Amino acid sequence: MDKKITVTQPQLPPLDEFTSLLREIWDSKWITNNGSFHRALEQALCDYLKVPYVSLFTNGTLPLITALQALNITGEVITTPYSFVATTHSLWWNGIKPVFVDIDPRTGNIDPERIEAAITLRTTAIMPVHVYGKPCDTERIQAIADKYGLRVIYDAAHAFGVEVNGESILNAGDLSTLSFHATKVYNTIEGGALVMHDAKMKQRIDYLKNFGFAGETEVVAPGINSKMDEIRAAYGLLNLRQVDSAIEARHQVAIRYREALRDVAGITFFDDMPGVRHNYSYFPIFVDAEKYGISRDELYERMKSRGVYGRRYFYPLISEFATYRGLESARPSNLPEAHRMADSVICLPMHHELSEEDIDRIIDLIVK
């Protein structure tokens, strides 16, 4: 029986160190609501990510919903269908109509050249995704936003630690959101964050994630409860120390995959982008059935039958789910590139603990 290899595996902090932090939390009897570990993790993340302000959340979906609230976004928002469904769900939860725009096949990200054609009088914002951690064309997107007076909220769930020419990608746009889910490069089990540019916005978001409380007796907005607790903040502080080595280990896996798969007919993948510090959060390959000989799904099932569990992120497209497929912008003819990518993708196993043997097994399955 082959050993099961999953698409990813969470990085866990050293258990003895975590136990000793748990003891501190137990002694303090302060377990949530902006405690000392929460404050320490926010500061540590600002330092690590090179961003001015971070507000921690309990997962990566609530920051999206809260970002839209914080900026009073209404009407229509232009977004990508090629993402995890949480991106568009955040619009739905705010009563906002998503307007899907096709992707650029060179990156998998929203194609800036197609954004202007989708803008209407009701458009108030753009919500792009740095899919697989590959940076969007933030300059072009900002130029369009400035021209039409739109806000930009980046779903940066995959982009922890990604930098372009030494600057964090999280500084682009009005707000960026992060996910620290167990399956991410950096995890706090469940968790997430909003990254903002100024103290006033940080204050507003801190109120919104705590029911809107601005003091013991004052509620300034209909906020929600999405605070991170002390236990996960402590876990996150420990995990932050290992994230660089995890990214480097993933980088080595990407190098091996690329070397082995570069000349396989019908298999393509993304190369690193110049000037970008990548985080190797995912390793998608794209299967051209005609050139490769079998379809994406046949390869996917073959891998599974041999214990290698890749994932078809992001198939089906968000625009194909029942909630969204009736929208005018969800028509497949509007999204040909996104469909092509969704129909050909397999994300190969990618994490810091893949052994040489595991990688060889995965490569053998694809090459043969």
Choose the binding region for ligand T4K from 55-63, 161-169, 271-279, 360-368 (rule: CB under 6 A): 55-63
**Nearest distance in Å: CB 62, ligand T4K:** 7
Task: Please give the Cα distance from 146 to 125 (Å, whole number).
Answer: 11
**Nearest distance in Å: CB 262, ligand T4K:** 26
Task: Please give the Cα distance from 214 to 221 (Å, whole number).
Answer: 9
- Cβ closest to ligand T4K, residue 36 vs residue 323: 323
Of 135, 192, 284, 349, which one interacts with ligand T4K (CB under 6 A)? 192
Site for ligand T4K in 225-284 (CB under 6 A): none
User: Where are the alpha helices (H) located in 281-325, listed in sequence order?
Assistant: 289-292, 296-305
- Cβ closest to ligand T4K, residue 58 vs residue 292: 58
* DSSP 8-class letter at 136: P
Q: Does 182 bind ligand T4K (CB under 6 A)?
A: yes
Sign of the alpha-carbon torsion through 95, 99, 100, 106 = negative
C-alpha dist (Å) from residue 182 to 18, 81, 186, 358, 368: 16, 23, 8, 21, 32
Q: Does 10 bind ligand T4K (CB under 6 A)?
A: yes
Q: Does 134 bind ligand T4K (CB under 6 A)?
A: no
Choose the binding region for ligand T4K from 1-9, 44-52, 202-210, 331-339 (rule: CB under 6 A): 1-9
- Cβ closest to ligand T4K, residue 61 vs residue 319: 61
Helices (H) and strands (E) in the chain — how many of each? Answer: 12, 15
Q: Is 95 exposed, middle or buried (0-12, 13-18, 19+ CB in 10 A)?
A: exposed
Q: Does 183 bind ligand T4K (CB under 6 A)?
A: yes
Choose the binding region for ligand T4K from 153-161, 259-267, 328-336, 360-368 (rule: CB under 6 A): 153-161
- Cβ closest to ligand T4K, residue 179 vs residue 279: 179
- Written as six digits, the tokens of 161 are 């630690």
Q: Does 128 bind ligand T4K (CB under 6 A)?
A: no
Q: Does 8 bind ligand T4K (CB under 6 A)?
A: yes
Task: Please give the Cα distance from 139 to 75 (Å, whole number).
Answer: 24
Q: At what angle do helices 62-70 and 199-208 cross, to 10 degrees?
A: 120
